Amino acid sequence: MLLLVPLGGLLLLAVLFDYLVVVGPMRSTFDRSLADAAVVFAAYVRETPDGGVAMTLPEPLARQLAEVQGTRPRVALFGADGRYLTGDAGLPAPSAGSAGSGAFSFATAALGNEERLRVVWYRFEAGPRALVLAVGEPLGDREDATRPLVTATLTLDVLQLVAVVALVLIGVRQGLRPLLEFRDELTRRQDRGLEPLDESRAPQELKPLVAALNGLLARMQATAESQQKFVADAAHQLRTPLAGMQAQLELLERDAQALPVRDQVRAVREGLKRLAHTAHQLLTLARAEGSATLERDFAAVDLRALAEEAVAQYLDRALGKHIDLGAEAAAAEVRGVEWLLRELLGNLVDNALHYTPAGGIVTVRTGPCGDGAFLEVEDDGPGIPPEERPRVLERFHRAPGAGGTGSGLGLAIVSDIVALHGARLDLGAGAGGRGTRVRVEFGVGESAREA
């Protein structure tokens, strides 16, 4: 748009210039032919025997002149002093000038009846007398003659202007289209597109840009991958000693004879267990951020199988706490990262078992929902007050009265994983307003992303 203002100005200037170039020479051409006529008329000026002057043009010549001029010219004869002698009395008198014989002077004169005349005065000598011959031509005639030309020129100019503006608009849009498509593709891939862009599909002009971007993406991917490797190595290096210490403490607790020692060992073991859990969660968070940036990690995931697996996995813990853990799982498939969804579900079940008192009920559900699928975990524990709900998703946030355990990372991990899958998280109360129900809805967009 910024381009159109100067462009329009430039084109308007061109129109003005055309007008001047066409109209200027035409005026002088008309004037010259008027002067020619004056010279012709002057040749027929005769002195009359009575000492006056007379001007008689042979009829064929007069007709021919009229044809050339387009109209019968008005002619008058004046003395050098501007005195009217003979001819058309309507023509204006020349100004008394000192210009010599053979000089022309031009003027545009307005007549009383709105008509305007272009007049030429020709000074000449007929015998001893200095005379001025005036020839007038209605300006209207001239305009009639020039109008088609001017109109044609200006019409052409305006057409040209419109065409140029249109071409510029189309050209700019056409030229920008690959760039816009490129932008759309970049927008579409959102946060997980670290795969290189297809350079062969990019328009010629964009190829260097695409190549540069691919270089950047490759470096980012390398960074993501090395971070993944680091996290995996860190997991290994942390878990093995933790496993060793935990198992050793388990044996120590079993073998301890004195009760106070056994209690102390159990306390240390519980602490170590929490440490291991937190370490696992932190590593999960770190890996989740890196992993889901890779499109190749996404695949079809059977939510029902994950739900049943989670129930089987947490069954012993539930039995230990006298909680009825069960499933209401219908077939549900989403496109996602399987290990992340397993972590998500594990965290939800873990939380539910943690907060639900003995004798409670925890249910894992999956099924279709709209064009997508859902997954939810419901318990009949104390629930989360509505005002607390947004905050429980924050990292390291701990619900008031949550007791001494828990890292405050579980729901933050859930929230991250939900976001990475473009899913929707709903935190509410369970059936009858009791307990907590966490529902994750995977939209149609997620399952359609494969296409």
Residues of the shown chain interacting with other proteins in the complex, contacts defined by CB under 8 A: 232, 235-237, 239-248, 250-251, 254, 273, 276, 280, 308, 311-312, 315, 319, 324-329, 338-339, 342, 363
Query: Residue 265 or residue 384: which is nearer to other proteins going by CB?
Result: 265
Least distance from other proteins to the Cβ atom of residue 326, Å: 3
Q: Which amino acid is at 134?
A: A
Query: Residue 184 or residue 255: which is nearer to other proteins going by CB?
Result: 255
Least distance from other proteins to the Cβ atom of residue 341, Å: 11
Query: Residue 163 or residue 247: which is nearer to other proteins going by CB?
Result: 247
Q: What is the Cβ-side half-sphere exposure of residue 438, based on CA atoms within 13 angstroms?
A: 27
Query: Residue 188 or residue 254: which is nearer to other proteins going by CB?
Result: 254
**Rounded Cα gap, residues 375 and 335, in angstroms:** 13
Least distance from other proteins to the Cβ atom of residue 361, Å: 8
Contact 105, 120 (CB under 8 A): yes
Least distance from other proteins to the Cβ atom of residue 393, Å: 23
Query: Residue 144 or residue 316: which is nearer to other proteins going by CB?
Result: 316
Least distance from other proteins to the Cβ atom of residue 5, Å: 60
Least distance from other proteins to the Cβ atom of residue 226, Å: 15
**Rounded Cα gap, residues 409 and 407, in angstroms:** 5
Query: Residue 68 or residue 232: which is nearer to other proteins going by CB?
Result: 232
Query: Residue 280 or residue 421: which is nearer to other proteins going by CB?
Result: 280
Query: Residue 326 or residue 428: which is nearer to other proteins going by CB?
Result: 326
Query: Residue 87 or residue 290: which is nearer to other proteins going by CB?
Result: 290
Provide the terminal-to-terminal Cα distance of the chain, rounded to the nearest Å.
Answer: 37
3-state SS, the chain, equals: CCCHHHHHHHHHHHHHHHHHHHHHHHHHHHHHHHHHHHHHHHHCEEECCCCCEEECCCHHHHHHHHHHHCCCCEEEEEECCCCEEEECCCCCCCCCCCCCCCCEEEEEEECCCCCEEEEEEEEEEECCEEEEEEEEEEHHHHHHHHHHHHHHHHHHHHHHHHHHHHHHHHHHHHHHHHHHHHHHHHHHHCCCECCCCCHHHCCHHHHHHHHHHHHHHHHHHHHHHHHHHHHHHHHHHHHHHHHHHHHHHHHHHHHCCCHHHHHHHHHHHHHHHHHHHHHHHHHHHHHHHHHCCEHHHCEEEEHHHHHHHHHHHHHHHHHHCCCEEEEEECCCEEEECHHHHHHHHHHHHHHHHHHCCCCCEEEEEEEEECCEEEEEEEECCCCCCHHHCCHHHCCCCCCCCCCCCCCCCHHHHHHHHHHHCCCEEEEECCHHHCCEEEEEEECHHHHHCCC
Least distance from other proteins to the Cβ atom of residue 324, Å: 6
Alpha-carbon dihedral of residues 35, 40, 41, 43, nearest 10 degrees?
A: 130
Query: Residue 111 or residue 251: which is nearer to other proteins going by CB?
Result: 251
Least distance from other proteins to the Cβ atom of residue 318, Å: 9
Query: Residue 104 or residue 339: which is nearer to other proteins going by CB?
Result: 339
Least distance from other proteins to the Cβ atom of residue 255, Å: 9
Least distance from other proteins to the Cβ atom of residue 446, Å: 19
Helix axes 259-291, 338-355, angle to 10 degrees: 140
Least distance from other proteins to the Cβ atom of residue 312, Å: 4
